[in-house]
């Protein structure tokens, strides 16, 4: 797959994850009138994850720009590393603060204790949390594909020279071409 299209897919995957979390945010806003501590914790975690997703989105967009012609693969690598770091934190927070067995069980308990309105709402919220898993998994796969493509591209530009008492002369026309491609 072409480097640019792989990085475009990463941007789409980040956007899909953002959309999924935004759906969750809307559901949180539709909660029944009374308060519950579990809801505040979920809302806080969801907002933190959304913030990280927006940072990952900026890094993915920067990485895409860096692989467009003329490609700057080192800057693309750094931007992709930033995106990967944010996504790692997203996965940790999502697993621990939104989708853990304890959080989902507590949400179910609160729903069953507070009546039909809360039960309906908490069931829908738990489903929305579960629905976030797919886009986050797709994002992880897209990151993996980007690293693979970037590693392949970087592997194509490696030059290995072993010198055993020989002098290697490169014609100036070839040297100029190599320098414009960023190979030294």
| pLDDT tens-place string over residues 121-148 | 999 999 999 999 999 999 999 999 999 9
What DSSP state is assigned to residue 146? H
**pLDDT for res 18:** 97
- Supply the mean pLDDT for the chain: 89
pLDDT category, 116, cuts 50, 70, 90?
very high
Count of structural domains within the chain:
1
Region 74-82 average pLDDT = 97
Region 110-121 average pLDDT = 91
Please state the pTM of the whole predicted model.
0.80
> CA nearest 158: which of 179, 135, 184?
184
Q: Which domain holds residue 140?
A: 3-180
Cα 60 from Cα 146, distance rounded (Å): 10
**pLDDT for res 177:** 61
């Amino acid at each position: 797959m072409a480097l640019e299209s792989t990085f475009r897919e990463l941007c789409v995957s980040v956007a899909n994850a953002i959309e999924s979390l935004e759906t969750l945010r809307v559901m949180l806003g539709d909660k029944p009138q009374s308060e519950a501590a579990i809801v505040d914790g979920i809302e806080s975690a969801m907002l933190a994850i959304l913030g990280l997703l927006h940072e990952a989105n900026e890094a993915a967009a920067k990485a895409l720009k860096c692989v467009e012609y003329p490609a700057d693969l080192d800057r693309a690598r750094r931007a992709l590393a930033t995106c990967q770091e944010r996504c790692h934190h997203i996965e940790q927070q999502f697993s621990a603060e939104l989708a853990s067995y304890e959080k989902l069980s507590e949400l179910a308990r609160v729903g069953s204790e507070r009546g039909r309105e809360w039960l309906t709402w908490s069931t829908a919220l738990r489903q929305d949390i579960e629905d976030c898993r797919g886009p986050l998994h797709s994002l992880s796969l897209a990151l993996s594909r980007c690293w693979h493509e970037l590693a392949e591209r970087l592997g194509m530009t490696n030059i290995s020279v072993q010198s055993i008492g020989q002098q290697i002369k490169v014609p100036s026309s070839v040297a100029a071409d190599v320098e414009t491609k960023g190979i030294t």
